[in-house]
Amino acid sequence: MKTAMQEHFEWLEENQLELDIPIAAIDNAEDLIYKEKQQIQQIFNDAFVYGFTKTNISVNEYYEHKFNKKL
């Protein structure tokens, strides 16, 4: 199963020439996929360290708090 970012990155690569997508956009997408992978690993790790079931917080709530903070 691929993440949404992985699918988007593949789409960018496939359509780069046709849509005249700058190489910088492809590189940025690749960097974001790496960042997304690290976020997923962090959530997985934190689930074991903090034990979401023990703290009564759902993985979704944790993700929203950790990665969707409003500035």
What is residue 49's DSSP assignment?
I
* pTM > 0.75: yes or no: no
2-46: pLDDT as tens digits? 778 788 888 888 888 888 888 888 888 888 888 888 887 887 777
Three-state DSSP class for residue 14: helix
Backbone angles phi, psi at 57, to 5 degrees: -120, 140
Give the whole-angstrom CA distance, residue 38 versus residue 21.
26
Q: In 10 A of CB 56, how many CB atoms?
A: 7
